[in-house]
Structure 1
Amino acid sequence: GLNVLVELIVGYAIPGNGLALSFIKALGYNIDGQAQNFINDLKQGHYTKLPPRATFRVQLLSIFIASFIQLAILNFQITGIKDYCVPGNKQKFTCPSTRTFYTASVLWGVIGPKKVFDHLYPILRWCFLIGFLLAFPCIALKKWGPKKYLKTFEPAIIIGGMLNYAPYNLSYYIPGVYVSLAFMWYIKGKYEAWWQKYNYLLSTGLSAGVAFSSIIFFFAVMYHEKDINWWGNTVVYTGYDGNMVGRLNATESAPDGYFGPRKGHFP
């Protein structure tokens, strides 16, 4: 994505202005973000025999409609949900992705990259060079390494996949790993004809089912709270997931210089 590059440019050009950075970051991210979404749609459309022009029309129409729907939902959330985005929100509306966006506006906009790289975290500037140099051993591995083991080794995809974890924890995404292994490895290898015909339709159906179900669940049992006690509703409030809060106080939560469990108490 272009958002990190845009943040650095704007942070240097307009230091101390977090609001300007948020606006330009949103624009800079969507320039390539929507293009990546379209490429993804074209790939799935190719598998499901959809014409590219039809895919383009549908994406344009969906973006137009979704813009109004998203704005309406956002206004409803802010005004209609008590303690929205507050760390102790009972319905777990703690807004992790939104907080990440806001934190970036403070770090790169209000504080600015000059202060970050020159004073707060000077070692971070070396990460750009490290990332550049790491490309060369990866290229060498792909070119001269054993093809059998490195055929599917794609560093960009691996690193990009890891980025999707933030700001959530591992348990949020791990179930998807099992499903992906089942369908993209086992079923594709054993039953390829079925996979070609139904895999992407099934994936779309599951995603749509989750979306519709979540709307029904929210208004049926969450907006006006109705207790339904079973393991699936209570497990999220136990263990390390249950201890996650919207934000951490470094003085209280990082007395030894780091967040998380203390040494000797790792799960």
Structure 2
Amino acid sequence: LVAQWKQSREHSEDIHHKLMQAYPEVPDWWYGALFIFMSIIAVITCEIWDYKLPWWGVLLAIAMSAFFALPVGLIQAVTNQQPGLNIITEYVIGYMLPGHAIANVTFKTLGYISMAQALTFTGDLKLGHYMKIPPRAMFWAQLMGTFIAGLTNLLTANWLLASQKGICEDNKQFGCPSANTFYSASVIWGVIAPDRMFGPTSIYNAVNYFFILGFLLPIPFYYLKKFWPNSALEFIHIPVLLAATGMMPPAQAYHYTNWLAVGFLFQFFARRYHPDWHLRYTYILSAAFDSGTAFMVLFSFLIFTLRDVDMPYWWGNPEDSMCPLESAPYIPLAPPPAA
């Protein structure tokens, strides 16, 4: 952190910064006023709607997101991986307010998503910097986009909850894996609370040692790289390795195998043996995959889900289950011994 900070202060101006000096910068008080105003709105919202999260909990969540924004942002800038604060925030508020699920998820949202959105906003500003978009135009575009997106998400969620039967339960089209993960976390960290779930008397108490392991694990590799520079150790980055598991759940094992195959194909094979093609087309193809997936999800919803039509059966979507163990009989648990 210190080295990156010094480098950012001492590094000579690049051509992008020189060209952007033609536009007026966003005044700091714009950001400060927006920060204070939205913090007040968050406190008022939690008090009026009785989320069981007191005002000091809201301020603590905001302080945690602000504190971790710089180190997590540095990791993301170097590795394109963003370690989440969801576990840390759930852990903290779970000890402070045990038994309150709504307060737990609200604190997590304020403490984790605030930081994630701040880093997304920073990345968009960087993109606008390279595209030579005036900073003030970027500020207002982001502000209006956030308002429109939030309102659209709220209206869409309410519409789906009212129109889709069994949503997030037995609805085939809307299984809601992310929402179920969010709900499970609220039960584990909010209702049960970390003291009962991972406390000294719990069978899961040993899980706490992984916090210490995650803190200590990068240290030996740091010194090993000092002793053996320009070796294969340069490719070992512990935050990246550990952050990769952050998508599980709701991601499953086959997601990781697909990601590994695609990543190996483009970032190793194409980059090493076809560098010109990789330099010219890889990121364009990545954007095409993202856009194509988004459009296909929308078309699938309009064609199949909205009309309550099942997806056609074919080789990639067989009628029978592809998991033979799914129909295996369950072995009932033995009854407890008589007292």
Common fold by TM > 0.5: yes
Deviations 1:38-63 (A, max 9, x none): 455567x49x9534747766554443
Which has the larger displacement, 34-43 or 186-195?
34-43
* Pairing 1:156–2:239 present: yes
1:260 alignment counterpart? none
8 Å Cα contact 2:313/2:319 also seen in 1: no
1:207 is matched by which residue type in structure 2? D
SS in 2 for 1:184: helix
1:50 aligned to which of 131, 134, 156? 131
* C-alpha RMSD of the superposition: 3.2
2:200 aligned to which of 102, 106, 118? 118
Q: Highest relative contact order (Cα 8 Å, sep 6+), 1 or 2?
A: 1
2:313 aligned to which of 229, 237, 251? 229
8 Å Cα contact 1:97/1:167 also seen in 2: yes
1:84 alignment counterpart? 167
Shift of residue 231 of structure 1?
A: 1.2
Deviations 1:211-261 (A, max 9, x none): 111111122123321552211222894227x949xxxxxxx78959xxxxx
1:21 is matched by which residue type in structure 2? N
8 Å Cα contact 2:101/2:189 also seen in 1: yes
8 Å Cα contact 2:221/2:233 also seen in 1: no
* Pairing 1:99–2:164 present: no
- Closer, same or farther: CA 210–220 of 1 in aligned 2, 3 Å: same
Matches within 5 A, 1:1-267: 1-38=84-121, 41=124, 45=127, 49-51=130-132, 53=135, 59-86=142-169, 88-91=170-173, 93-116=174-197, 117-120=199-202, 121-145=204-228, 147-223=230-306, 224-226=308-310, 228-234=312-318, 237-239=321-323, 243=326
- Closer, same or farther: CA 179–127 of 1 in aligned 2, 3 Å: closer
SS in 1 for 2:235: coil
Shift of residue 156 of structure 1?
A: 0.3
Shift of residue 151 of structure 1?
A: 1.8
Shift of residue 77 of structure 1?
A: 2.3
8 Å Cα contact 2:101/2:186 also seen in 1: yes
Percent identical among aligned pairs is: 32
5+ long unaligned stretches in structure 1: 245-251, 257-267
Query: Bigger radius of gyration, 1 or 2?
Result: 2
- Closer, same or farther: CA 66–200 of 1 in aligned 2, 3 Å: farther
8 Å Cα contact 1:141/1:150 also seen in 2: yes
